[in-house]
Amino acid sequence: MNYQISDEVLSNIKIEEEKQAAYVSDEETTTLVKAVAEKLKCSEDAAMVGMCIICQKGGTAKKAQNNIYTIVEGRRLELGMIRECMNQKKMNITLRQFARTHGTTIQRICKHYGILGDLAKKISREHENLTREDLYWASNFQMDNGDCPSEIKSILMDHYYSLFKTNNTKYK
């Protein structure tokens, strides 16, 4: 049986999909940015910039030290402060999810300030042909970013798989 549903009927049926677990919603982003801005006593824009820099510096790793920091408008923003805001707001998200969601924004902001990705030094040793422009994308959370250059995504994927190597076998 070939069941046909018209576009008009489809337009009238409301479907709600769960958000993808690897990302944060606009509402979650707003909640976190406002909480960080309030705690740091700065503008929301400054809080967002600071959070992006912390992500680029490696703050998305589960075992990242709470004292990873940046100075925003003369105020010290530490990873621990961001985590504290997430806990206080009872947010069920990680900074890695935030970084995946805002990967292109993070790259653009960090390029402006000259901050390379947390994996830049490591991958540039193995791939000497990479440009500085490429290395702004060299962050552990950029693998699935559609805006990230394909060569960099491939290198990031290789790096990721290398973390799970056993007897020179990649797990895919």
Model pLDDT, residue 20: 62
Which whole-number Å values give the CA distances from 46 to 34, 41, 58, 65, 108, in the listed order? 10, 10, 19, 22, 15
Query: How much is the pTM?
Result: 0.83
Model pLDDT, residue 171: 47
| Cβ-proximal residues to 55 (8 Å cutoff; 6+ apart), any chain | 95, 98, 99, 102, 106, 139, 141
**Residues present in the chain in total:** 172
Beta strand 75-78 with 69-72 is: antiparallel
Model pLDDT, residue 16: 66
Strand partners, 69: 78
Closest by Cα among 68, 151, 43 to 135: 151
The rounded distance, in Å, linking the Cα atoms of 82 and 102 is 16
- Name the percent of the chain lying above pLDDT 70: 92
Structure-token pair, residue 105: 């924004």
Average pLDDT, the chain: 92
Model pLDDT, residue 11: 85
pLDDT tens readout for residues 14-48 = 776 555 678 999 999 999 999 999 999 999 999 99
The rounded distance, in Å, linking the Cα atoms of 18 and 25 is 11
pLDDT tens readout for residues 156-169 = 999 989 888 765 55
Count Cβ atoms within 10 A of the Cβ of residue 90 and give its class: 0-12 exposed, 13-18 middle, 19 or more buried: exposed
| Cβ-proximal residues to 44 (8 Å cutoff; 6+ apart), any chain | 33, 34, 37
pLDDT tens readout for residues 85-98 = 999 999 999 999 99
pLDDT tens readout for residues 47-103 = 999 999 999 999 999 999 999 999 999 999 999 999 999 999 999 999 999 999 999
Closest by Cα among 103, 82, 100 to 91: 82
